[in-house]
Structure 1
Amino acid sequence: MPRFVILEHTTTEGTHWDFMLEQEGKLRTWSLVAEPCPGVEIPAKELPPHRLIYLEYEGEISGGRGVVKRWDSGRFYELLLSQRDRVQVQLYGSRIRGTVLLTRKPHEENSWQFYLLP
């Protein structure tokens, strides 16, 4: 099974959570405005793919881009990953064991909603 990680990312502008899924040799990544919580829709922004090193990395990010700390990690099962506007995965992490649904907002290329099913 492929791996996932959720990083708590603290910058001078505040804190967000980076949700990363291993896919085709890189990490498909979304920035969440809030900590994942079951039953709560969280606005998310899709970011460019990240390097696999972030599956294990914790610490300062070069260029003054803040500090990352692992919030959760583990494996995931793809329920629906190849759709353009929807991603659904089953997470098997140390904190989260459940289904995540990511849905792209209509007419907004990088704007998504992250939803952890209760």
Structure 2
Amino acid sequence: MPRFVVLHHLTPPAGPREPHWDLMLERDGALETWALPVPPTLDSTQTGQRLADHRIHYLDYEGPVSGNRGTVKRWDWGTYLLLDSSPGLREIQLSGQQHTGHVRLRRKTAESEFWSINCSAVD
């Protein structure tokens, strides 16, 4: 099964981005990545920003990020089952240390980098 990780990304005070959580899904040798303002929790919906794919080593990495971009610490990790996928949709079943449940990521508009991310318990 493919793996996922949620990293708490603490950024420097003068950095271009606020501290956030990175949801990363292993896919095709890279990590599809979304920046979230708060950690994904059951029965929550939030808007996340789709970032460029990240290197696979972040699945197990904790520590400083190159270029003085802060540090990352793993908040949740595990495996996932891909239930549905299209250019603007990912539906997955997570099995992690903090979160086990259904996550639906849907792009807000056809060309948007912003996605609606809904987390719910397993039916």
- TM normalised by structure 2 equals 0.90
Q: Which residue of 1 aligns with 2:105?
A: 102
One-letter amino acid of the structure 2 residue matched with residue 2 of structure 1:
P
Query: What secondary structure, in the 3-state scheme, does the structure 1 residue paired with 2:19 have?
Result: strand
Name the counterpart of 2:6: 6
Query: Distance in 2 between the 1:37 and 1:97 partners?
Result: 9
Over residues 39-81 of structure 1, what are the superposed CA-to-partner deviations in whole Å (9 max), with x where a residue is unaligned?
A: 2211101011100000000000011111100000000000013
Secondary structure of the residue aligned to 1:54 is helix
Provide the C-alpha distance between the structure 2 equivalents of 1:26 and 1:85, rounded to a whole number of angstroms: 18
The Cα of 1:12 is off from its aligned counterpart by: 2.3
Gaps of at least 5 residues in structure 2 are none
CA RMSD of aligned residues (A): 1.2
2:111 and 2:69 map into 1 onto residues whose CA distance is 25
Give the distance between the partners of 2:22 and 2:65, measured in 1 at CA: 13
Contact 2:42–2:99 under 8 Å retained in 1: no
Identify the match of residue 57 of structure 2 among 37, 53, 56: 53
SS in structure 2 of the partner of residue 42 of structure 1: strand
Give the 4+ runs in structure 1 shifted more than 4 A.
none
Name the TM-score, length of structure 1 as normaliser: 0.94
Give the aligned length.
117
